[in-house]
Chains A and B, each alone.
Chain A
Amino acid sequence: MEKKLALYICTGCGIGDAINVEKISNIAKNAQKVPVVKNHFALCGSEGLETIKADIANEGVNTIVIAGCSPRVKFEEFSFPGCIVERVPVRELAIQLIEKQEDQQIAAEDYIKMGVIKAQKGDMPEPFIMETVKTILVIGGGIAGMTSALQCADMGYEVVLVEKEAELGGFVNKLYKKIPTSLPYKEPLIVDTDIQATIKAVESNPKIKVYKSSKVEKTEGQPGAFDVTISTEGKEEVVKIGAIILAAGWKPYDATKLEHLGYGKFKDVVTGIEFEEIAKKGKGKILRPSDGKAAKKVAFVLCAGSRDPNHLPYCSAMCCASALKQTKYVRQDDDACAMVFYKDIRTPARTEYYYKEAQNDAGVMLAKADVIGVSDAGNGNMFVEMENSLLGERVKVEADLVVLATGIVPATLDDPIINLQYRQGPGLPDLELYNGFADSNFICFQYETRRTGVYAAGCVRQPMNMAEAQEDASGAALKAIQCAEHVAQGIAVHPRAWDKTYPDPFMQKCTSCKRCTEECPFGAIDEDEKGTPYFKPNRCRRCATCMGACPERIISFKDYHVDMIGTMLKSVSVPSEDDDPRLIVLVCENDAYPALDAAAKSGIKIDKAVRFVQLRCLGSTNLVWIADALSKGIDGMLLMGCKYGENYQCHFAKGSELANYRLGKVQETLSRLQLESERVQMVQLAIDEFEKVPQMINDFVERVKEIGPNPFKGF
């Protein structure tokens, strides 16, 4: 595309009063050779917009720099289809954040210069399009997996369902009854699971191909073009898959580890699932395993394994309601009583109604207690022993059957399941943060994993009950479909779901250092046999971490590359006075930049020394920029990015952390330049911490002033 650049300077919002527009226009026209430079009192108003549109139509302008307000506002007004649009937030960064008029002028000049460079160096994105399929692979044929499969099939997508067992249905198959799925919870409080109906719906659906007794051996390729090897009793088959739903479910926590609760020692101490089987076998009669006698005093020990630092450091969420349901099995015999020992009864939301109905029964007895053991009562029964009970400080209760509400562990705890043939490993990363669950780190984006095109649903994702798993399955289905559709069009998925650019490495110059393959938070880059990085663009989320990692600076996006930012940084003015430092702050555009906008709106002022440069993600920071800037006389650089650590807030998971990691290596670069390493620092800033910005900046300015001016100043 032949670019024709135009710069429009808005003089509204106090900009015109503060700065010398003519001077800036001249810089753009003369120094930067911008063919069209105009200004207007309110560019966002209809008259201003008409001017721009007229230039597009009549002058052939297709690359537009708007020097005015933040790109976060007036987005609708300043969108010109078919044009590259670069917004320069002069209002916020140069005017509102800076106190004195003469400083505002210099800042505005710098920002507009950088904006023009960005526009000059950027190109119109062209999507990466490859041949893709939209078939959805569902791993796991339990209630979550089957629901996802049906949802996708109903939407018209081909589905491949892989189940490791010989039958579909998962744990629901083992249940005697379930909690009614709809409110109000009135008698009967236990109903048939009806799982067969769902199984039938799945198996008879022409769009769903079911592989039973099967597992995923290998997943190669990328979203839209996964090659998934499915093995069924020794036979292997490779299917093309667009996106994957991981619904591999859970298993009960190993009860043999609960020796203190008598499991394995007493035949009549059983797990919740075993109790379901007892009820199912007895068609509702509860006959205890040891002697087949009808159980009359059944004790339920909740949190058996769960909420216990020695076992599972989480709550398994489903056990309270399940145990309450199981008391109803016991109570089908009116002479039998069901005793429930709990730490807290957790029946959130309207499950509370189930609790209320289930406990409203003469033979259902509940007490808060810390169960410490199960011992022999000598008469064939057992004593459940407890402390801190509301029944008394040290109490034992006789039971003829003890049910341990064992917690759940996710299928992904010790098995990657998806078996990705990725350089970074076969499973989902970060599982250790969530005790093996394939959970999302993001509160707001529940289905995001660090493997594009893989979405988890049901208990493999979080502990949840059957109804919740079904809801969860719908969401995962949508995300999988979304991914298959987006990659077909060459558009990124969350969080840059609009982005048509993709990493385009200049491979001839690659030294196979593998930093990009190691650092990519999404494992998007594999290596070929020779160890040369091999990009899988459909796995990529466009954070440009690879671009930051690459020492050869060969990874570029159409509208974002190392040279672009480097040139911008080099264009920043350096004051000649020694006590007048110039600092550059690289900010994450997702969080730190919006915080600057908020600071500007709140009337906060910051030191005139700084210039902010927005990055897609701090992970895209290339160390060469630091060298570029400091060698031009910039006194210091600050990286302002999201919080990292286990509660990281980076939308690309690792971006800010990697930026920090790279800073550890900047020493080398700086010492080569004979500069102090403290000239470059990183701070973490959340989007709402705008009030902290001045202090952070001031501290840094002070530190840099202490170090003294950059010796390269004036060169």
Chain B
Amino acid sequence: MAEQAEGGLCRVVVVGGGFSGLTAAVDAAETGAEVVLIEKNPYLGGRVAQLNKYFPKMCPPMCGLEINFRRIKTNPLIKFYTTAEVESITGSEGDFTVNVMINPGFIKDNCVSCNACAEVCPVERANDFNFGMDKTKAVYLPYNQAMPFKYTIDSRVCKGASCAKCVEACKYNAIDLSMKPEKIAIKANSVILATGWNPYDATRMDNLNFGKVKNVITNMMMERLSSVTGPTCGQIKRPSDGKVVNKIAFVQCAGSRDENHLEFCSYICCMASLKQTQYIREQNPDSEVCIFYIDIRTPGKYEQFYWKVKEDPNVTFTKGKVAKIEQAQGSDDVVVEAEDMTTGEKKRTTVDMVVLATGMEPSGASTKVNGFNYTPEGFGSPDKGLFVAGCSKNPMDVSKSAQDATGAAMKAIKSGQRR
């Protein structure tokens, strides 16, 4: 049974509940369109929910998310599904059917997030929200400001009915381990793809030895490591031995601007490293930061953000890409190797921890939504009635995603309302 549009100017389905998807959904709904938002994670917010701060204001992502969540909560035109994935989109401009698979989270909406289930759950899982740097139970709350504020069960590790300790523990009868995947078909006049991005797999750069050399992390891991809700409660300590990080190196373009990996520039990494430099400089006044780059790309007003960091005498910028990373002899320190092009010297720098400014791989590189066309890199290509917003369209930062998503909402409504 396909769900029919009920009211509003038109019905827009937004695929992806990250920052772009939320913005597109809210802006479309506030213009009068009916919106159905499909999110594959058990929570809304996507990639930005994992960020500690935004550049250049060093403000928390939850601040804007909270406003958008509130706009969703108060707007009857928006409906959203979490743990849901689009299986296919059929039809044509003005008359699409979006086939959605809702995967079971095994927790009903009447969950009150009391944590009783997690207390009795015997199974632990690597916490993917924190990039595996800590663990949660098989039943868990994705993060402490999650929307919806509801527990979920990782079906890959849950022992199911044979255990069912959580079912017993739940006073509200909110757990149903027999929940089955559910397929729904949603009628839509237009569709916005806002499936975002994934951090590029750093193990694929064999010369940077991520995963082999200790204390080499990615920039997204650094976000979690700096966040109060992260594995170290925001204390920037290196993973191997918990040592406070005094000297850190940022390796720019780790995978980006590289035809062997991501051929494009990932846009955000320069600003992200400048931001993370501030995390560590604020936390540890004696710390030293070395940033290795090809070009510092801080377009527009971000230039001042760059200047601010550049003024700090404990931060050095080296023009020259790091192309070799090795473990220091006899310690957990890390040696990065680069040519300082201004002096023309190939130098090895020993640091406590290395952050790889890994780029963004569009989600379409690994998972494609059947019905959309993609570029070879995996970026979505817009088509009649099918629009693409945010990082699934092009690498961009949060502010550009906000701008882009609003524009996509405009186009989607324009396309949808014609019929």
A residues bordering B, Cβ < 8 Å? 12-14, 42, 44-46, 69, 72-73, 75-77, 151, 154-155, 183, 306-307, 309, 313-317, 344-353, 368, 388, 390, 434-435, 437, 439-440, 442-447, 462-464, 471-475, 477-479, 481-482, 485-486, 493-495, 497-498, 590-591, 594, 597-598, 601-602, 642-643, 647, 649, 651, 686-691
Would you give the shortest CB distance from A482 to chain B, in whole angstroms? Answer: 5
| Chain B residues closer than 8 Å to A495, beta-carbon distance | 67, 71
Is B113 in contact with A75, judged by CB distance below 8 angstroms?
no
**7 A-B residue pairings within 8 Å (CB atoms):** A151-B414, A349-B266, A350-B265, A444-B23, A472-B403, A594-B66, A598-B144
Which of A14, A317, A474, A686 is close to B411, meaning CB atoms less than 8 Å apart? Answer: A474
| Chain A residues closer than 8 Å to B60, beta-carbon distance | 686-689
Is A463 in contact with B299, judged by CB distance below 8 angstroms?
yes
| Chain B residues closer than 8 Å to A691, beta-carbon distance | 228, 233-234
- Kindly specify which of B121-129, B175-183, B390-398 makes contact with the partner chain: B390-398
Summarize A's interface: helix, strand, loop or mixed. Answer: loop
Measured CA separation A410–B309 after assembly (Å): 26
Is A350 in contact with B264, judged by CB distance below 8 angstroms?
yes
| Chain B residues closer than 8 Å to A471, beta-carbon distance | 403-404, 407
Would you give the shortest CB distance from A346 to chain B, in whole angstroms? Answer: 5
- A345-B295, A478-B27, A690-B228 in contact; A443/B265 too (CB < 8 A)? no
* Number of A-B residue pairs with CB-CB distance less than 8 Å in the complex they form: 225
Would you give the shortest CB distance from B340 to chain A, in whole angstroms? Answer: 12
Is A446 in contact with B394, judged by CB distance below 8 angstroms?
no
- Kindly specify which of B188-196, B200-208, B300-308 makes contact with the partner chain: B300-308
- A353-B264, A444-B67, A486-B30 in contact; A315/B299 too (CB < 8 A)? yes
Contact mask B24-44 → A, CB, 8 Å, 1/0?
A: 001100111000000000000
Measured CA separation A38–B23 after assembly (Å): 39
Measured CA separation A67–B211 after assembly (Å): 50
* Leading 3 A-B pairs by shortest Cβ distance: A444-B64, A474-B407, A475-B406
Is A14 in contact with B114, judged by CB distance below 8 angstroms?
yes
| Chain B residues closer than 8 Å to A368, beta-carbon distance | 319, 341
Measured CA separation A479–B61 after assembly (Å): 22
Is A498 in contact with B71, judged by CB distance below 8 angstroms?
yes
Measured CA separation A368–B319 after assembly (Å): 10
Which of B52, B149, B265, B298 is close to A347, meaning CB atoms less than 8 Å apart? Answer: B265
| Chain B residues closer than 8 Å to A463, beta-carbon distance | 299-300
Measured CA separation A498–B68 after assembly (Å): 12
- A474-B410, A482-B27 in contact; A348/B297 too (CB < 8 A)? yes
| Chain A residues closer than 8 Å to B342, beta-carbon distance | 388
Contacts A486-B30, A495-B67, A691-B228 known; 16 new A-B pairs at CB < 8 A: A12-B171, A155-B410, A183-B375, A314-B301, A315-B300, A349-B396, A437-B301, A440-B399, A473-B407, A474-B407, A594-B66, A601-B113, A649-B57, A688-B60, A689-B60, A691-B233
| Chain B residues closer than 8 Å to A12, beta-carbon distance | 112, 171-172
Which of A314, A477, A493, A687 is close to B62, meaning CB atoms less than 8 Å apart? Answer: A687
Is A307 in contact with B149, judged by CB distance below 8 angstroms?
no
| Chain A residues closer than 8 Å to B257, beta-carbon distance | 352
| Chain A residues closer than 8 Å to B301, beta-carbon distance | 314, 434-435, 437, 439, 462
| Chain B residues closer than 8 Å to A486, beta-carbon distance | 30
Tell me if B263 counts as interface (CB < 8 A to partner A).
yes
Tell me if B63 counts as interface (CB < 8 A to partner A).
yes
Is A601 in contact with B411, judged by CB distance below 8 angstroms?
no
Would you give the shortest CB distance from A488 to chain B, in whole angstroms? Answer: 11
Tell me if B4 counts as interface (CB < 8 A to partner A).
no
Tell me if B316 counts as interface (CB < 8 A to partner A).
no
Is A314 in contact with B303, judged by CB distance below 8 angstroms?
yes
Is A482 in contact with B113, judged by CB distance below 8 angstroms?
no
> In this complex, which of B234, B297, B411 has the most chain A Cβ atoms within 10 angstroms of its Cβ?
B297
Tell me if B75 counts as interface (CB < 8 A to partner A).
yes
Contact mask B341-369 → A, CB, 8 Å, 1/0?
A: 11000000000000000000000000000
Measured CA separation A647–B267 after assembly (Å): 22
- A151-B414, A447-B403, A472-B407 in contact; A482/B64 too (CB < 8 A)? no
| Chain A residues closer than 8 Å to B112, beta-carbon distance | 12-13, 42, 44, 69
Which of B32, B302, B307 is close to A485, meaning CB atoms less than 8 Å apart? Answer: B32
Would you give the shortest CB distance from A581 to chain B, in whole angstroms? Answer: 28
Contact mask B5-34 → A, CB, 8 Å, 1/0?
A: 000000000000001000100110011100
Is A349 in contact with B144, judged by CB distance below 8 angstroms?
no
Measured CA separation A477–B341 after assembly (Å): 46
Would you give the shortest CB distance from A522 to chain B, in whole angstroms? Answer: 16
Measured CA separation A368–B296 after assembly (Å): 12
Is A598 in contact with B145, judged by CB distance below 8 angstroms?
yes
- A591-B63, A688-B228 in contact; A647/B58 too (CB < 8 A)? yes
| Chain A residues closer than 8 Å to B62, beta-carbon distance | 594, 687-688
Measured CA separation A492–B100 after assembly (Å): 34
Is A443 in contact with B57, judged by CB distance below 8 angstroms?
yes
Is B300 in contact with A478, judged by CB distance below 8 angstroms?
no
Is A446 in contact with B414, judged by CB distance below 8 angstroms?
no
Is B413 in contact with A317, judged by CB distance below 8 angstroms?
no
Would you give the shortest CB distance from B303 to chain A, in whole angstroms? Answer: 4
| Chain A residues closer than 8 Å to B63, beta-carbon distance | 444, 590-591, 642, 649, 686-688
Interface residues of B in 61-110 (CB under 8 A from A): 61-71, 73-75, 109-110
Closest to A393 in B: B342
| Chain A residues closer than 8 Å to B109, beta-carbon distance | 77
Contact mask B373-396 → A, CB, 8 Å, 1/0?
A: 001000100000000000000111
Measured CA separation A479–B413 after assembly (Å): 13
Would you give the shortest CB distance from A459 to chain B, in whole angstroms? Answer: 10
| Chain B residues closer than 8 Å to A473, beta-carbon distance | 407
Would you give the shortest CB distance from A155 to chain B, in whole angstroms? Answer: 5
Closest to A148 in B: B410
Which of B145, B395, B399 is close to A350, meaning CB atoms less than 8 Å apart? Answer: B395
Would you give the shortest CB distance from B87 to chain A, in whole angstroms? Answer: 26
Would you give the shortest CB distance from A361 to chain B, in whole angstroms? Answer: 18
| Chain B residues closer than 8 Å to A347, beta-carbon distance | 265
- A479-B406, A482-B30, A601-B144 in contact; A443/B299 too (CB < 8 A)? no
Tell me if B2 counts as interface (CB < 8 A to partner A).
no
- A478-B409, A482-B30 in contact; A349/B394 too (CB < 8 A)? yes
Is A313 in contact with B303, judged by CB distance below 8 angstroms?
yes
Measured CA separation A435–B65 after assembly (Å): 27
Is A643 in contact with B59, judged by CB distance below 8 angstroms?
yes
| Chain A residues closer than 8 Å to B319, beta-carbon distance | 368
| Chain B residues closer than 8 Å to A75, beta-carbon distance | 73-74
Would you give the shortest CB distance from A70 to chain B, in whole angstroms? Answer: 8
Is A443 in contact with B402, judged by CB distance below 8 angstroms?
yes
- A351-B265, A482-B27 in contact; A346/B403 too (CB < 8 A)? no
Measured CA separation A35–B6 after assembly (Å): 38
Tell me if B417 counts as interface (CB < 8 A to partner A).
yes
| Chain A residues closer than 8 Å to B58, beta-carbon distance | 647
Closest to B405 in A: A475
| Chain B residues closer than 8 Å to A348, beta-carbon distance | 265, 267, 297, 299, 395
Would you give the shortest CB distance from B343 to chain A, in whole angstroms? Answer: 10
Is B172 in contact with A42, judged by CB distance below 8 angstroms?
yes
Closest to A591 in B: B63
Closest to A435 in B: B301
| Chain B residues closer than 8 Å to A76, beta-carbon distance | 73
Measured CA separation A475–B341 after assembly (Å): 42
Measured CA separation A590–B69 after assembly (Å): 11
> In this complex, which of B56, B63, B402 has the most chain A Cβ atoms within 10 angstroms of its Cβ?
B63
Is A444 in contact with B68, judged by CB distance below 8 angstroms?
yes
Which of A307, A446, A479 is close to B303, meaning CB atoms less than 8 Å apart? Answer: A307
Is A352 in contact with B413, judged by CB distance below 8 angstroms?
no
Tell me if B131 counts as interface (CB < 8 A to partner A).
no
- A45-B110, A350-B264, A598-B145 in contact; A443/B59 too (CB < 8 A)? yes
